[in-house]
Structure 1
């Protein structure tokens, strides 16, 4: 049998249920962000160009104060991300071909995040 609620308590009950649902959704989305970030770091380490291996090892993630997760390249190899992804000029002329390794992972992570959040919100 359903709970009986007086008309006076209806607004409070609806508000409390919406707060509970919102808290559950926010917690689930935080878990999704953490999982996607961990997967992204693993994929970037695997797809990064390897010469000495230091560049690939320096991919890491961090949780920001506002709750967002960010994937970044630690020092001292953070300067190489743009150069490797976009290519660069050689010392004696010519160009070095770009080694695209960040963009495909980013696209996959974004689409995976969107699909998982949409799936969670449709429950």
Structure 2
């Protein structure tokens, strides 16, 4: 352990907190990227599969913005017209409703839990 003069104590504390902040931000960004990939795969695997399988293969990840403290990923489908209809069901042409096939909300919940668990583990382990 290094010896620190009393007049340099504030600078050392600030330096240590800055290092911790930088390390935490790097971990946060890498965990966000990993989790977004997991969510995309989960949605693709649980998506309804038609004859062409286009919907289940249409899921993409897009990084919307990144700054020093945060990063924002969006998992979306390029066949966006179908997502709401499949997730919640819809009215049929001759009356009645189709059954809902929830596949986005469960994957989102798993992603949130996974992100929180990974972040807590990496911060505790340093």
- Specify if TM > 0.5: yes
1:122 deviation in Å?
A: 2.6
Query: How many aligned residue pairs are there?
Result: 120
1:121 deviation in Å?
A: 2.7
TM normalised by structure 2 equals: 0.90
Residue of structure 1 in register with 2:9 after alignment: 10
Alpha-carbon displacement from aligned partner over 1:23-66 (angstroms, at most 9, x marks no partner): 00110111111111111111111111111211111101011223
Aligned residue for 1:89, secondary structure, equals coil
1:84 deviation in Å?
A: 0.2
TM normalised by structure 1 equals: 0.92
What runs of 5+ residues in structure 1 fail to find an aligned partner?
Answer: none
Distance, in Å, in 1 between the alignment partners of 2:10 and 2:36 is: 39
Distance, in Å, in 2 between the alignment partners of 1:107 and 1:23 is: 28
Alpha-carbon displacement from aligned partner over 1:94-123 (angstroms, at most 9, x marks no partner): 110011111111111111111111222333
Question: 2:47 matched to 1:48?
Answer: yes
Bigger shift: residues 77-86 or 62-71? 62-71
Question: 2:114 matched to 1:106?
Answer: no
Aligned residue for 2:94, secondary structure, equals coil
Aligned residue for 1:22, secondary structure, equals helix
Aligned residue for 1:39, secondary structure, equals helix
Bigger shift: residues 51-60 or 84-93? 51-60
Alpha-carbon displacement from aligned partner over 1:70-94 (angstroms, at most 9, x marks no partner): 11112xx101111000000000001
Question: 2:121 matched to 1:122?
Answer: no
